[in-house]
């Protein structure tokens, strides 16, 4: 009886050992090396649809601003001015043009602007008066009057009839009153008048002698036609501009080679 009990106990122990071994083999515990070799597939991303480029030729300009007026005000300096010519104050240019805009049919972001207007330059001098109406000088003189009677304020005013033409680019041609705009061009001008104006006569001690005003007018020393290059950058209806005269202000052999340059603000809807 004792033997039978021992044999039965041994049989049960052997059966339990084999059962534990099979369970471990059928359900192995994952190891780090097993996990590193496991490939986890990510869900495929949906393809991103490419947006077709905008066909600018089909853009409607029905609501485009019809503002054809352009006004410019800027500070003017003389490039090439001799050291003996003393300018002072806020020498300035005022331009006003009426322009037509001609958009390109294939791409209305591009357009040509052309029109007509006036350009007026005011150059202020310190105790000197250009002798524009002199009949004895072969060249335009700028005499220094600091040691004698002189005008407290003195300026040279030149006025031109001008025809500007521009190549324009607008980032949003449907809303030119709010988008960025760039323009480069040229303008041709014909001189209408040139005169000096002195105000408040003073002695060499800067004491007022009289409140008189004196004007002298003549175009004899100036080139009657001028050609200028222009640049303009605007955001909406306001921006900045620059212009430089490519032809000399004074005739060859009758004075220094002076080229007026202007930079300032511009107001325009196009």
User: What pLDDT does residue 19 have?
Assistant: 47
- On whether residue 17 sits in a domain, the answer given is no
User: What pLDDT does residue 31 have?
Assistant: 57
78-87 pLDDT, tens digit each:
999 999 999 9
* Burial annotation 145-175 (CB, 10 A radius, 16+ → b, else e): beeeebbeebbbebbbebebebebebeebee
Q: Provide the residue range defining the domain that includes 156.
A: 69-268
Spell out the residues 6+ positions from residue 144 whose beta carbon is closer than 8 angstroms to its own.
84, 86, 127, 128
- On whether residue 13 sits in a domain, the answer given is no
Comparing 257 with 34, the larger pLDDT belongs to 257
41-50 pLDDT, tens digit each:
666 666 666 6
- On whether residue 186 sits in a domain, the answer given is yes
Neighbours of 200 (CB within 10 A): 15
* Burial annotation 82-106 (CB, 10 A radius, 16+ → b, else e): eeebebeeebbbbbebebebebeee
- Please state, in angstroms and rounded to a whole number, the distance separating the CA atoms of residues 165 and 207: 48
- On whether residue 32 sits in a domain, the answer given is no
pTM: 0.77
152-167 pLDDT, tens digit each:
999 999 999 999 999 9
- On whether residue 264 sits in a domain, the answer given is yes
User: What pLDDT does residue 37 have?
Assistant: 56
User: What pLDDT does residue 73 have?
Assistant: 98
**Average pLDDT of the residues of the chain:** 85
Torsion over CA: 97, 191, 182, 94 (sign): negative
Residue 13 has pLDDT above 60, yes or no: no
User: What pLDDT does residue 75 have?
Assistant: 98
Mean pLDDT of 229-238: 95
Neighbours of 206 (CB within 10 A): 10
The pair of structure tokens assigned to 68 is 């054809």
Residue 76 has pLDDT above 90, yes or no: yes
On whether the CB atoms of residues 128 and 85 are closer than 8 A, the answer is yes
| Burial tier of 210 (Cβ tally within 10 Å: 0-12, 13-18, 19+) | exposed
For residue 18, what pLDDT band results from cuts at 50, 70 and 90? very low
Comparing 247 with 3, the larger pLDDT belongs to 247
* Burial annotation 231-248 (CB, 10 A radius, 16+ → b, else e): ebebebbebebebebeeb
For the chain, the maximum distance between any two Cα atoms, rounded to a whole number of angstroms, is 158
Mean pLDDT of 257-263: 97
User: What pLDDT does residue 177 have?
Assistant: 82
Sort residue 80 into left (φ over 0), alpha (ψ -120 to 50) or beta. Answer: left
On whether the CB atoms of residues 128 and 242 are closer than 8 A, the answer is no
- On whether residue 185 sits in a domain, the answer given is yes
On whether the CB atoms of residues 117 and 96 are closer than 8 A, the answer is yes
pLDDT above 90 covers a percentage of the chain that reads 67
164-210 pLDDT, tens digit each:
999 999 998 888 888 999 999 999 999 999 999 999 999 999 999 99
- On whether residue 11 sits in a domain, the answer given is no
- On whether residue 242 sits in a domain, the answer given is yes
- Please state, in angstroms and rounded to a whole number, the distance separating the CA atoms of residues 130 and 150: 12
Neighbours of 8 (CB within 10 A): 10
Residue 36 has pLDDT above 90, yes or no: no
The count of domains in the chain is 1
Comparing 6 with 128, the larger pLDDT belongs to 128
Phi and psi at 86, nearest 5°, equal -105, 105
Neighbours of 111 (CB within 10 A): 22
């Amino acid at each position: 009886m004792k033997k039978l009990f021992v044999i039965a106990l041994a049989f049960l122990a052997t059966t339990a050992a084999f059962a534990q071994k099979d369970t471990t083999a059928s359900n192995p515990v994952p190891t780090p090396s097993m996990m590193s070799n496991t490939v986890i597939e990510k869900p495929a991303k949906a393809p991103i649809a490419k947006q077709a480029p905008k066909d600018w030729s089909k853009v409607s300009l029905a609501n485009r601003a019809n503002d054809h007026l352009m006004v410019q005000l800027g500070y003017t300096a003389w490039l090439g001015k001799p050291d003996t010519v003393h300018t002072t104050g806020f020498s300035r240019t005022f331009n006003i043009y009426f322009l037509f805009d001609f958009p390109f049919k294939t791409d209305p972001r591009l357009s040509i602007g052309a029109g007509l207007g006036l350009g007026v330059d005011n150059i202020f001098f310190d105790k000197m008066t250009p002798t524009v109406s002199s009949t004895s000088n072969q060249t335009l003189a700028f005499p220094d009057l600091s040691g004698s009677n002189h005008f407290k304020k003195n300026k040279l005013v030149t006025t031109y009839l001008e025809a500007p033409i521009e190549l324009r680019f607008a980032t949003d041609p449907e809303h030119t009153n709010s988008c960025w705009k760039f323009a480069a061009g040229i303008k041709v001008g014909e001189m209408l008048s040139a005169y000096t104006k002195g105000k408040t006569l003073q002695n060499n001690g800067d004491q007022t002698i009289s409140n008189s005003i004196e004007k002298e007018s003549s175009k004899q020393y100036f080139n009657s036609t001028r050609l200028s290059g222009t640049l303009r950058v605007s955001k909406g209806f306001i921006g900045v501009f620059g212009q430089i005269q490519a032809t000399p202000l004074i005739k060859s052999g009758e004075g220094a080679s002076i080229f007026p340059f202007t930079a300032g603000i511009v107001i325009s809807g196009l």
